[in-house]
Every structure is written in structure tokens, then in C-alpha cells.
Amino acid sequence: MLRPIAFAAAALSLSLAPAAPAAAKGCIKGALVGGVAGHYVGKGHALAGAAVGCIAGRHMAKKHAQARAAGHR
């Protein structure tokens, strides 16, 4: 009986939370690619691949943004 009430309370609290825009551009795309690559490497590497992919994706997005700000393509 308590489980449905807890689930409803969690769903209500999440639906009322404000949606903030993602500040880490490149992280989601990098995490997806890294997670898939880690999955194909072997058991247990998907999470590590996603973490490294997020870091690499963020680095590349930051580098790209700096180049665009400098006027380079």
C-alpha cells in the first residue's frame, strides 16, 4: 500500500520541479557514443565509456565554442 503512494509522491514532485536547460553541451552525445563503445568492448565497460565520453564530448563542445567565438570554423 505504501509503494503506490511513494511512487505517486515522487512523480508529483518531479512534475513540479522546474526544468533547467542543460549546461553541459556535448556531454549527452559523448556519453551515448562512449556508452555504446564501452558496451561493445566488454562487460561492465558501458558506464566507464559513458563517463569518459561525457568528458570528451564536453571538451570538444567547449573547444568548438571557443573557435566559433574567435571567428574560426
pLDDT at position 17, please?
A: 59
20: DSSP letter: P
Cell 563503445: give the residue: 37
Task: State the alpha helices, DSSP H only, in the chain.
Answer: 2-16, 27-41, 46-69
pTM for this prediction:
0.60
Q: pLDDT for 8-23, tens place per residue?
A: 777 666 666 565 555 5
> Per-residue pLDDT tens for 32-52?
888 888 888 888 888 888 888
Q: Residue 37 carries which side chain, given as an amino acid letter?
A: A
Identify the pLDDT of residue 13.
Answer: 62
Among the listed ranges 4-18, 23-37, 49-63, which one has the minimum average pLDDT value? 4-18
